[in-house]
Amino acid sequence: MSFLTRIEALKDLIQEAVDKGATTVEQIHQTIAAMPLDALEKRGLLEGKASQVRETQAATIGAVYDAIRKVNQEVGDLASGLIESLEDQIAAQKNIGKKD
């Protein structure tokens, strides 16, 4: 396995860990964020607005973690492109000295 192949595998591992980590943290965040709303709703302090508040809160939290996952994907794609360029450059340099 070449050095660049190992680097690409490591990149994939890190990218997957960030994605799964963001999803896990998002789930925890959603659960914790719902707690105050549950308490307010039980006391009747949201006056019928609970579902709207919950939807807005969930969408806002979800958008943040979607952005994190999107940035992670974009950085991974950029890294893959750079690795591919390096592989192409190495292959070209090897072929420069060869005669037909």
Confidence of residue 15 (pLDDT cuts 50, 70, 90): very high
- The whole-number average pLDDT for the span 6-31 is 97
* Predicted TM-score of the model (pTM): 0.83
What is residue 48's predicted lDDT score, i.e. its pLDDT?
84
Cα–Cα distance measured from residue 13 to residue 68, given in angstroms and rounded to the nearest whole number: 16
Cα–Cα distance measured from residue 39 to residue 44, given in angstroms and rounded to the nearest whole number: 9
Please provide the size of the chain in residues.
100
Q: Give the other-Cβ count within 10 Å of 22's Cβ.
A: 19
Q: Which residue has the tokens 């039980």?
A: 42
What is residue 59's predicted lDDT score, i.e. its pLDDT?
98
Tokens of 47: 């006056």
Burial of 70 (0-12, 13-18, 19+ CB in 10 A): exposed
What is residue 100's predicted lDDT score, i.e. its pLDDT?
58
Mean pLDDT, the chain, as a whole number? 94
